[in-house]
Structure 1
């Protein structure tokens, strides 16, 4: 067995990118001596790549991912004996230094003197761990940085200078070496610039004392140095507190100063290219000069009115200046301005405690700037000294006559006279003249002889109602207006007669009070111009010229409506006023509203028109069924309807046998009145239903029908019949008092002609008319001497069954027909054609005639489902008519009917079809 298996690596410490060789060796002995050396083969374990050559494994260009690869080997001899596992070789390729970086990753670091440099990290990748050295370029040579500025960790070396000085400026180098192999080094340089902070700047203002509207400039200055090289640093400037203006590096220019700039605090700062900011400069406070401006006098009016004897002012002169304005007051006298006496001046105000009318005039305020010449402004105010009016003379005149008044005097004027009033008044300002509180417009006349001013005005057009005492008031807004009083009496004829309404709407049977108000001086007389028993009462009101008259008119009939004239007179004239009484009321209720005639679908009504209330009236008819909610309306077309006229109207398209409510409405513009009644429509009876033929013999036939609705009145039945070739109808009255709706009525027609076609009609009649239904049939052929007890029994049985049990009658008839057919077959010699014809004829009459005989086979199979008349809808006691037909002898047999069968079938096939029978049953 192979032993001592070993694995060796060359080179011993390979780097990434190197080629390596791993050699496996083992030994073996074989006995007896002289036998040749055993041949060994080798196998490598853990290798993922590379090429083997017997006992060697070669791996090209090591990579970092080969790190940690474990490789072993074994030897196998030619007897397939395997050695033990060799030692393990674990790959760990060297590399580095690589990816050398300095953080922060910048080439130049600018730092302010006295601040901290770093930490600056030097980082690289090596296997095994890199070795780091920091050096500083001093005087052209790199020397190690002091250890106190260096710190290490597992992956990098940090340089940190807590307080840097200008002599520490320069280039710093990080050197990275491989710890095993010399000569594998890399370096990274960084340049550190140390700079002094900016000095506190100075700020200057030009001009020193600017005015509002001037342009100013502010300049900011500061310095800073940089090492190595002692180079001046580039500075940026910022002005603080400024909200407008233009910047030019260290200069701020502000154009057109305004008052809003006052109090603006402006400072500046310098910032170097390291972002270091200087201290703030001293503050420049803007305080621009201005004024005088906005010169005003308060009260803010150009003219000031002041009452004589009162105080003038204080009148304040106000302006805006910076610094404070200077003020001077002057007064215009004899065309020139002179300073106001100091006793009336207080600071910038003027105040005259007791002013007289000769102190009127213009007062002027002059405002100057204390620091500048030629900036003076002025403000004038006109002072008007006023005094209250005084009436010294007064004249009232008409027809060019005048009189001076010193005490109240009464004047009499007619309405047509124009009165002129002249007043002589002393007043400033001009007075307003009020004549009994009415503002007058006066023509001003200056009388220069004595200096008085006369005021002349025509009084407003005087009316009768203007009579009375009048106060003449002269006022101009100054206290203590002057007054005078005169008394006027104005004469006029009656006028302005007014009533509450010239037209009075009223009703017959009422009494109307007539009241008129009018103007008249002196008092008038009043008379009616229409005959009436009422008198006038004349009442004087508060004033002599105002009067009220009262009277009454009684409306007894329509003739009392109309126009009433009223004549009012005094010595100056008369007037006539008219009062019109007109009817004004809702129309009277229609009278005698009643029903003339009524049918089953219409109603004739009538009424008498009442008084129309004084306006055109219209009529309308409203109606509805009593169980309805909706009313139908029909307008009645009438013309020239007078009181007492009878109006007729027809309501049609009504429902038969229905109760209605009817209202007739009379209407005009004032309202409506109505009258009402109720009625019920009538109706004709319904046509008999299911009219059909029962048993037919040669001389008789049994008819049946079901009674319909009687139309609300008692009804009777009658049967009319004739042969088809006759024109005359025979009439039989059906005597039967049991005709309730749904009852089945049976009737026998006898004494007919054999083998003859008949038309028969049944009529249902009440007081309103009748309705009918009809059909056709044919009697049988007569066979003398052929009557047998069998046929008699069959007929009698048929009648009994028909009278007793109408529902089973059809079934029995069908059975009898079948039995008769068999009897005829048993006698021999029967014609098959005739047999079929007879069967068809009988079956047609039975099946198509009476619903009692409908569908015999269905009746046999399901008697409870009869389609004609159910047991609960047929009265079984309606066979009282059977007393009429119980003695009937049916002599017709099956044998003696053969001769007429062919013809009967031929004719019945054309006329007695199902459709024909139903058509005859229609109403």
Structure 2
């Protein structure tokens, strides 16, 4: 139903003349950073009220503040305390009608975070054993609106964007510094970073060595081995050895400045963590390589001729792979002993043996053994050596191949027989072709044994050696003196018997001599020499017996019996330079000069002659043989 128009206008007038409408409050800015200024406005829908009234927490805003009757209220240096205040306003119109108070208005003050955040629990240092639980840690900051948070680890990698750091069960990877930063999302203000430290006690799991399980070093070198363990906080490292009880440095690195062969053994590194109660070990076996020590032995110690003989070379070194080289020398001359067989192939056998089934005189001398295992000593020498002198006890042996001698009737003849005997000859005698036993000088025979250097043949090689010479001188040779002479020699080992022959010089032998001289002097000289020799043979007469001296015994006269003269020592190893007393020889006697070159020529198979020309040829022949001797050289 439509109302009359007068009723409508009456209502409008009443409303216009009534109480103003309820105002509202607005702020500029709506969010106020702490310390800034904010303006509050009291807004009424009734147009422009004449007066406004402001209240704070129910109390009228007093003088000294911005005009409390203005439409706006300006608050400077806003603090977070202002955020807790409630502001209201009323408006009064020109009819002095006052509105209801506005709804309470709270200023939105943006503040925080403070310069540093705090933690809960209030602890920034944690030490835990691995595989134990770490309680949650809260990062706290006072902010409006609420701050955002960020946790980072030591590597500055983000862990979480929550305020709470929740790690749970820790392991060694979770140890480190953790930093928390708070940020006001409105003001973008960031707190200074604050951190906590988490230490995780762990290990050791294993010990690591910078060396292999087996380490080979050479004697005299420096050894350095590092033992590394991964653990926290500390794991003391200690070294021990199966052979060395007192290591100078038994912690950390193992250092041996000058290792020697006694230090070979097992070296063990041990590490212990007192916090976790764990112990680990690791070992390396050190082998100290060193050149071999070389020794030589003789079995039996006093070898006898005809019995087995073993010369043994022993080596002891590391590695136990040896190359043996053995030699046999006499007087510096290498003897090609057929019992020695050298092989350049390394062997693990610690000895090299020369086995001689039946020892003979030729087996005496110096035996050298050279050994290497490819390890040089500290002076750079590869080969190590030892020497052994071998002396074989042998029956007396005649060293000369010559058994036949030639002379002329009425002449004196000297027969020299080089012999070797160990031990020395203790008896020697001759039996003449007439059956006469000679064991001492007589008027017709002179016998002696002298110690002199001689030449012998050992395994086909000519060598000088110390021996003895048995000399028989026959004065004024007669027909009955020609024939075979038996020679007996005796020592403590055995008795030996040899036969030598003295023959009469014939025309054939003279022609032979002339032929030799002719070959040396040439065609024409040969003919002349032959004629001279033949003429001499045809005219040759027996020389008259010389008149005897008053002091010289006659042929049938017998000198006082005595034993063979053994002048000086007969031991071949004694000093040769010994004085000797010889029987005086009459001036008419023809005696071969005692010349060692003569003995050597006999050993070469050349018959001894009295002619000086033959003596010179023999000397030249021996010098040529000397030049061909092979001397020993050290093996490479």
User: Fold conserved (TM > 0.5)?
Assistant: no
Select the structure with the greater relative contact order (CA < 8 A; seq sep ≥ 6): 2
Give the TM-score band, short-chain normalised. Answer: 0.3 to 0.5
Q: Which has the higher strand share?
A: 1
Report the TM-score, using the length of structure 2 for normalisation. 0.37
Bigger Rg, structure 1 or 2: 1
Report the TM-score, using the length of structure 1 for normalisation. 0.27
